[in-house]
Amino acid sequence: MLFDSLAFLVAFPLFCVLFLRAPARSQPALALAGSLLACATFGWVALAWLIVITLLGFWLGRNIGASASGPRLAVAITAVVAPLLVLKYTNFFAASLQSALGWSGWQIQLPRLDAALPIGISFYTFAVLGYLIDVYVERIPPESSLYRFALFTAFYPKFVAGPVERGGVFLPQIDTPKRFDYARVTDGMRIIAGGLVKKLVVADRLAGAVNGVYGNLAAFHGVTLVLTAILYMFQLYYDFCGYSEIAVGVGRVLGYDLTWNFNRPYAARSISDYWRRWHISLTSWFFEYIFAPVAAGLRNWRSLAVVAAMMTTFLVSGLWHGAAWTFVFYGLLHGVGLCIDYLSAPARKRLRSWVPSRPYAFVAWAITFMFVGCADVLFRSRTIEQAIQFLGSMISGIPSDMAFLAAHHFNPAALKAMSSGLPTTKLDLVIAMIAIGCVETAAWIGRRRPFREQLLAQPVWVRWAVYYVVAGAILYLGSQNTATVFIYQQF
Amino acid sequence: MMSASAEQIMSELTPIFREVLENSALELSPDMTAKDVDGWDSFSHVKLIAAIEQHYRIRFRLRDIVKFRNVGDICGAICRSME
């Protein structure tokens, strides 16, 4: 049962009425029962793994809390991460080993694991790992109640694709009585509506064009592939940001505060700035639980410690996203980008004092945007060969396309002729562009105070005009989409 | 209220923070966190810890380092290391 399914649209309001009217002491149990039921809609295997990791995490947390030691933590981490490693990476490592042996002249057939990755396992496994480390370093006490801990791992709004919450942030919220609060519930609904617009109006609309190009890559080149790369950047961002906002909104309606996962990532002016704005809950998790201990452990290496910790962190981040070499290189590419960002910081600081601030900011933004766009080609491609083919055709085709555009004095009709090659309807593209323009303008207006809060200060006709347009777009355009999934649920 | 030794450590830490974070006007307080100081990020934090350890000729435990939340926590760890 995903957020954009009919089942959720029916079940969620009914559950809200039941949950917000229930006695405070029974609300955690009700939230847990509702979450487990919702998780069970993804299949009994998914539910079984959730229960196994939950029981394991709870017991190991109590164990570490009773007597913390490094070896005990190492065993606990290994035990919790083992199912994820086996289920997600066995076939990848077997195939890679088989290829490596094949190149060395050893032709052997390694067995494959025939098991689908249980939905949500990458997210709740990391939540449990963070909890165990927090207990070990005494940031939080071990949780004494199994059902409270189970709600931390299973809470449905964050089960499928995060946000990756910390025990210290989520667990204290569980016992607070949740009552119907008009301002809070309507705020949550506005956040959900924003997320649905991103997912149903933009991301699903762009998916057709992007899938069409990647499905027939040989037919495209140059500027068309540049446009595809940009469309995919927005598809990926709006898909995951849309999911995350719905999760935060659902949590808020129910009285829980979840982590805000995105902050205008494509406005970033450096790679480090980008990662402070993209998938914030997971990035901060990686920096706290991988980068910080590795960098601290190697601190005598000074700058090299940061470089080593950065590469380790982003290698793990790449692999977390998927068991494929494209994700390994995606992680390593961002790691290299961040190392360059870090090592060039003093030189860039000097440069900033010479160059006027606006041109400097524009160039910094453009470089960051292009870097992220190229890295996202790796993220989207099925194989390294496909990514190389995409980038190669894109770069080699640019000179001739630019010559064509220059011959037509860069008029919009010439650019339109190039985009007309995209496998999508003109209407879908126009709708997506208008929606992106509106959403990004609203995000820019709301960069200090959320747009939805500023909207409340507007006259009633302005507010309701916005609500009707948003609701109409979600219902009409959303109903035209063919069945799609959230990109990050596969991780 | 800080103890005398904590105050002394704070005054010794100030020039270290100023040098590593390249901020000559920085004034430390016990509840100051990385979010309050421009340039105090995950990268400069590593340099800060190494510089503090070198100054006091101490070695923090990894478990303590990852727990540091503010300047006061760092002062506390230095105090404990020097006891």
What is the model's pLDDT at position B28?
A: 87
Residue A172, preceding bond cis, omega within 30 degrees?
A: no
pLDDT under 70: residue ranges of chain A: 419-420, 482-486, 488-491
Contact of B60 with B48, CB cutoff 8 Å: no
Closest CB to A305: pick one of B46, B63, B65: B46
Structure tokens belonging to residue A271: 């790679």
Chain B partners within 8 Å of A296 (Cβ): 46, 49, 62, 65-66
**3-state SS assignment for residue A336:** helix
Contact of A156 with A274, CB cutoff 8 Å: no
Q: Which of A132, A299, A304, A341 to mutate to test the interface with B (most CBs of B within 10 A)?
A: A299
Position B65 confidence tier, pLDDT thresholds 50, 70, 90: confident
pLDDT for B61 beyond 70: yes
What distance in Å separates the CA atoms of residue A260 and residue A279, rounded to the nearest whole number?
9
Residues 58-77 on B with a CB inside 8 Å of A are 62-63, 65-67
What is the model's pLDDT at position A489?
A: 65
What is the model's pLDDT at position A430?
A: 87
Distance from CA of B3 to the nearest CA of A (A): 24
What is the model's pLDDT at position B4?
A: 52
Closest by CA to B65, choosing from A142, A68, A78, A294, is: A294
What is the model's pLDDT at position B1?
A: 46
What is the model's pLDDT at position A110?
A: 79
Residue A96 C-alpha from the chain's centroid: 26
Q: How far is CA A31 from CA A152, A344, A420, in A?
A: 10, 49, 49
Instruction: State the first-to-last Cα distance of chain B, in angstroms, to the nearest integer.
Output: 20
Task: Please give the angle made by the CA atoms of A346, B31 and B15, to the nearest 5 degrees.
Answer: 45
**3-state SS assignment for residue A52:** helix
In this predicted complex, what is the ipTM?
Answer: 0.80
Q: How far is CA A360 from CA A263, A343, A369, A440, in A?
A: 21, 18, 14, 22
Do you know the residue count of chain B?
A: 83
Contact of A176 with A255, CB cutoff 8 Å: yes
pTM over cut 0.80:
yes
